Amino acid sequence: MKAIVYSHYGTPDVLHLADRPTPSPAANEVLIRVHAAEATKSDCELRSFQFPVRWFWLPLRIAFGIRKPKQQILGGYFAGEITQVGTEVQHLAPGDRVFGSSQLRLGGYAEYLCLPGHYSLAPIPENLTYVEAAAVPLGGLNALHFIRRAKIQPGERVLINGAGGSIGSYAVQLAKLFGAEVTAVDSANKAALLTELGADHVIDYRQADFRQSTAEYDVVVDMVASSPYGSTISALRANGRYLMANPSLIKMLRAVWTTQFSSKQVLFAFAAETLGELQTLQLMLKEGQIRAVVDRVYPMAKAADAHRRVESEQRLGSVVIQISGVID
Ligand SMILES: NC(=O)c1ccc[n+]([C@@H]2O[C@H](COP(=O)([O-])OP(=O)(O)OC[C@H]3O[C@@H](n4cnc5c(N)ncnc54)[C@H](OP(=O)(O)O)[C@@H]3O)[C@@H](O)[C@H]2O)c1
């Protein structure tokens, strides 16, 4: 099979096309013919081995390979068709169109991917193409996790910082769906998209700092690792909740203190990306309550350009790599 591989850490140019043996599923696994995979910020961070939060570096380097990557095929979020199922897998069958997460196994940047049948794999709603479906799991699962943990009540004021990215663009839609008044913060080129996704107010962070205004929020969902902690907490109302996607060790310690000794709560748990959450998204997509946000689509041979696009931060939504030859 064809795969996009990288054999050492570095710039997008380390990505190249190569032939790899097609995997075959064990009894508890399924084989998926991948049609599309999202090129995510996390893929770029694993490729370059540069993370916005420094404490990630050592544990991830030990897990992913000290001198070179152990798993040379990136891609944690994908859409495709099941072609084979192991004897123990009852709930999936060849021909099923599925989308989902391969978790830390990655491997979505290849024509075929084997995953345990119990992983988060759900049927693609009929109104979505493979490309659109591949754009959903990362942003949708992480945004749903944060928005649910925030326990948003109708009418609450919710601010999404980094709203134009993969996670933020779903967080805006979900916060709106949960009845919030949504303020989206990102750069100016994303303002029109954010309004279209439902944001009531849009702030260009290069022009204004929401922390300096008198407005206060019930919930801040923060995708930006460099956010100052103290002034973000100050922008919360009493009983407000602050959700951090990218917490540093210092911020985690301060979070425990804030939660313990004030009415405000700071939450930073990683998303479990469960099947139940994916099925919730599937239903929301089917009923048109949320939509996939695709920026550009690249063929496998242009994977390096897909990563450059993600790293340029100019994108509006998800960058998707078309894996199979089928264009849809
Ligand atoms: N905790 C978890 O469970 C979890 C799970 C997955 C990912 N993550 C991490 O969460 C982060 C966000 O993920 P993502 O995929 O959504 O990233 P992304 O797609 O790159 O989105 C980040 C957005 O923030 C904007 N931005 C940058 N600086 C900003 C600032 N100072 N103020 C406001 N907006 C700013 C960026 O736009 P411009 O650059 O154009 O300004 C971009 O639109 C990544 O670092 C990822 O590793 C955490």
Ligand 1 pocket test, pick from 40, 186, 204 with the greatest ligand atom count within 8 Å of Cβ, gives 186
pLDDT at residue number 57: 86
Q: Where in the chain is the domain with CATH 3.40.50.720?
A: 138-267
Residue 223 CA, closest ligand 1 atom number = 12
Residue 164 CA, closest ligand 1 atom number = 43
Ligand 1 lining (C-beta closer than 6 Å): 40-42, 45, 52, 142, 161-162, 164-168, 185-187, 205, 223-224, 245-246, 270-271, 313
How far is the centre of ligand 1, averaged over its atoms, from the C-alpha of 242 (Å)? 16
pLDDT at residue number 328: 44
pLDDT at residue number 325: 60
Q: Using alpha carbons, select from 77, 69, 75, 83 the residue that is nearest to residue 24.
A: 83
* Cβ atoms of residues 323 and 297 within 8 Å: no
pLDDT at residue number 137: 98
Q: What's phi and psi for 204, nearest 5 deg?
A: -85, 115
| H, E, C per residue of 8-61 | CCCCHHHCEEEECCCCCCCCCEEEEEEEEEEECHHHHHHHHCCCCCHHHHHHHH
CATH topology of domain 2-136+292-322: Quinone Oxidoreductase; Chain A, domain 1 (3.90.180)
Q: Whose CA is nearest to atom 12 of ligand 1?
A: 223
How far is the centre of ligand 1, averaged over its atoms, from the C-alpha of 296 (Å)? 18
Check residue 212 and report its DSSP letter: G
State pTM to two decimals.
0.93
Give the sign of the dihedral formed by CA 100, CA 105, CA 109, CA 111: negative
Instruction: Indicate the SS3 state at residue 166.
Output: coil
How far is the centre of ligand 1, averaged over its atoms, from the C-alpha of 90 (Å)? 38
Write out residues in the chain with pLDDT < 70, as ranges. Answer: 325-328
Residue 161 CA, closest ligand 1 atom number = 33
Residue 270 CA, closest ligand 1 atom number = 3
**Length of the chain in terms of residues written:** 328
Ligand 1 pocket test, pick from 220, 223, 227 with the greatest ligand atom count within 8 Å of Cβ, gives 223
Q: Where in the chain is the domain with CATH 3.90.180.10?
A: 2-136+292-322
Residue 169 CA, closest ligand 1 atom number = 16
pLDDT at residue number 120: 95
Q: Whose CA is nearest to atom 48 of ligand 1?
A: 245
Instruction: Indicate the SS3 state at residue 158.
Output: strand
pLDDT at residue number 139: 96
Q: Which long-range contacts (CB under 8 A, 24 or more apart) does 248-255 make?
A: 248/53, 248/54, 248/55, 249/55, 254/229
Tell the CATH superfamily of the 138-267 domain.
NAD(P)-binding Rossmann-like Domain (3.40.50.720)
